[in-house]
Structure 1
Amino acid sequence: MSITIKDVAKFANVAPSTVSRVIANNPRISDKTKEKVREAMDELGYHPNFIARSLASQSTQVLGLVTPGSSDVFFQNPFFPTVLRGLSEGAHEKQYALQLVTGMDEEEIYNGVVQMVQGGRVDGVVLLYSKVEDRILMYLREQRFPFVMIGKPFKFVDEITHVDNDNFQATKDATDYLLKLGHERVSFVGGDVNLVVTVERLLGYKNALEEAGITYRKDYVLHESFLLEGGKDAVGELMELPLSERPTALVIADDLMALGVLNTLNEIGIAVPGDISIMSFNNVLVSEMSRPPLSSVDINIFDLGYEASKQLIKRIEKPEEPAKRIIVQHNLVKRFSSGPLTK
């Protein structure tokens, strides 16, 4: 025999309507009552019928997640499983589920978002990226559909709630660290130039060089995919420079890309950090497991996801909520891939 709301109400000594409000996470119900009712639900093994709730409340209790590009990149890079854990925890606290939109290319992803919004499948959307030009962002604005971004918007910064790091300062800090180790020939290996994070980090790199009185060199700046192959390609380009002009340190915008750099340098007999020092980004598990372990900027990926889901749910439940910019702190984790310049 299935457990009903009335059974839960009787067990918790509250009215059935109170149980319904707790399931809907009504803000008028006290935290003490919510805790008591949820304990009763757990004790009895009661599971709400979310389909029935959606029909009654005209809410799906689902958040849509939009990936930045092809599913190949998404599923290979460890950044995304970590940010998904944060999103999931924030959503679970408010009893929301997640729906992921992926595709083989940008057109497939755009069409998937349109279908998701027009079909009423989600209450709001999280963009897991920020691009310089983005059809999806413009579409969501035109539809006046609730959404937040992980990353700083290129346009409408004051009108869009977004969760981000201070990527300018983070890259300046990473570059300053290498400069203080005595490196003057520092290269920047970034990602897609259409991503705002790449633009912000490049500006931070340039600013660090400028303050140190070091001339910016275009041939020291490369843009590759956030994959192992991107790192390998970057090494290939840098090794084409004359030996006396090759960089002695690299700022790399992603740990997976940095692992590709490490592997390739090892294959051609270049020592890290003896010949080249590396400072990477993200501080995911691969940075600790690499040989040598990577120095990396910890951008607290989990917190980015957690705050994004929390902010989106706020916008769904309170549409009049003003746009916010949430900055997640970063810190430099210094390991064995970076060291003082050796003559």
Structure 2
Amino acid sequence: MAVTIKDVAKRANVAPSTVSRVIANSSRISEKTKERVREAMKELGYHPNFNARSLANKSTNTLGIVMPNSAKIAFQNPFFPEVIRGISTKAHQEGYGLYLSTGQTEEEILEEVKQMVYGGRVDGIVLLYSRVNDKVMPFLIEQGFPFVLIGRPYNMNEDEVTFVNNDNFKAAKTVTEYLMLLGHERIGFIGGNLDYVVTIDHMRGYEQALTNAHIRIRKEYIVHHEEVKEGGQDAVIELMSIEERPTALIVADDIMTFGVLRMLADMNVNVPKDISIVSFNNVMISELSSPKMTTVDIHIYELGFEATMCLITKIKEPEVGERKIIVPHRLIKRESCK
């Protein structure tokens, strides 16, 4: 005969309603009682029927994660596994599973989000990107569906959206000023896809720093490619073909920087002797490059963790207003600048 909630309650010497609250991880139950009930569940081999609970509560205990289009390209970048690690840690702590989008185009992603919402597949959604002219966010706002954005909403009232972000404008301005302090004036900018708000903010910070220092912004020094290793290689080919080459580069992402370093080595251009490089993200592999990358630590794990914490609060307490959280960044000085 199957073990029931009543059997667990009897073993733990509590009411059946207390067992139900422990399963739901209610804050009304003390940790001591939770421990006793969970021990009784373990001893009796009791496993909650989450499908039945979901039907009763109209809850799935599942969070949706929406990737930028082409997850295939996204997963080449260590940013995404690391931010998902932050999301999954908090989700696990709160008893939520994860549902990952797989759409390859903007249209497929929007259709998948609609299925998540209309089909009641998830309780809330984390958007891992902020796109110019995005269609997903307006749909979620229109539906009144809980979601949190990692990034900055573009061309929208920020009071309408809960988002977790870095100050990417300030970070790019800081690294540009750092290179100028080292004596560089011919500073190139290798940005990611211009469809994404983070790229726009990086470029604005770079241009503002040059303007403040009365250094001319040279359009030929600014190139944009996908944030993968090959994108970095293609960018270097463009910039190194200029007659008056840059003496320093700001690169949007560490994985692109690997491509940059590889191509510069093939061209016999020494880093940092001939050209200095600053990157963004401080993923684990940034210390494995030769030379080791000077990069901006944006605390990727914390972005995911904080976003999930905000989302679960929105799900459990719908009356709570929208929030804006800025995760601090830090310049990590290593060996790629001179």
- Identity among equivalent pairs (%): 58
Residue type at the aligned position of 2:103: G
Secondary structure of the corresponding residue to residue 76 of structure 1: coil
Q: What does residue 260 of structure 2 align with?
A: 261
Instruction: State the shift of 1:41 in Å.
Output: 3.6
CA offsets, 1:177-205, max 9 Å, x none? 11111111111111111211111111111
Structure 1 alignment gaps of length 5 or more: none
Superposition TM-score, scaled by structure 2 size:
0.96
Residues in 2 aligned to 1:297 and 1:39: alpha-carbon distance in whole angstroms? 45
Residue type at the aligned position of 1:265: L
Q: What does residue 202 of structure 1 align with?
A: 203
Over 6 Å off, 4+ runs? none
Residue 176 of structure 1 pairs with residue 182 of structure 2: no
Instruction: State the shift of 1:28 in Å.
Output: 2.6
Residues in 1 aligned to 2:46 and 2:85: alpha-carbon distance in whole angstroms? 25
CA offsets, 1:197-247, max 9 Å, x none? 1111111111211222211111111111010111011101101200xx211
In the alignment of these two chains, the number of paired residues is: 337
Instruction: State the shift of 1:112 in Å.
Output: 1.0
Residues in 1 aligned to 2:36 and 2:92: alpha-carbon distance in whole angstroms? 18
Residues in 2 aligned to 1:3 and 1:188: alpha-carbon distance in whole angstroms? 63
Of 89-98 and 43-52, deviating more is: 43-52
Residue type at the aligned position of 1:143: Q
Residue 55 of structure 1 pairs with residue 50 of structure 2: no
Q: Alpha carbon RMSD of aligned pairs, Å?
A: 1.5
CA offsets, 1:156-188, max 9 Å, x none? 211100000011111111111111111111111
Instruction: State the shift of 1:2 in Å.
Output: 5.0
Counting only pairs closer than 5 Å after superposition, residues 133-282 of structure 1 correspond to structure 2 as: 133-154=133-154, 155-242=156-243, 245-282=244-281
Q: What does residue 126 of structure 1 align with?
A: 126
Superposition TM-score, scaled by structure 1 size:
0.94
User: Structure 2 vs 1, CA of residues 250 and 38 (structure 1 numbering), >3 Å: closer, same or farther?
Assistant: farther
Secondary structure of the corresponding residue to residue 315 of structure 1: helix
Secondary structure of the corresponding residue to residue 170 of structure 2: helix
Secondary structure of the corresponding residue to residue 189 of structure 1: strand
Instruction: State the shift of 1:23 in Å.
Output: 1.2
Residues in 2 aligned to 1:58 and 1:83: alpha-carbon distance in whole angstroms? 28
Structure 2 alignment gaps of length 5 or more: none
Residues in 2 aligned to 1:304 and 1:289: alpha-carbon distance in whole angstroms? 23
CA offsets, 1:119-156, max 9 Å, x none? 10001111001112111111111111111100010112
Residues in 2 aligned to 1:310 and 1:42: alpha-carbon distance in whole angstroms? 28
Q: What does residue 89 of structure 2 align with?
A: 89
Of 37-46 and 190-199, deviating more is: 37-46
Residue type at the aligned position of 2:26: N
Residue type at the aligned position of 1:288: E
Secondary structure of the corresponding residue to residue 125 of structure 2: strand
User: Structure 2 vs 1, CA of residues 232 and 35 (structure 1 numbering), >3 Å: closer, same or farther?
Assistant: same
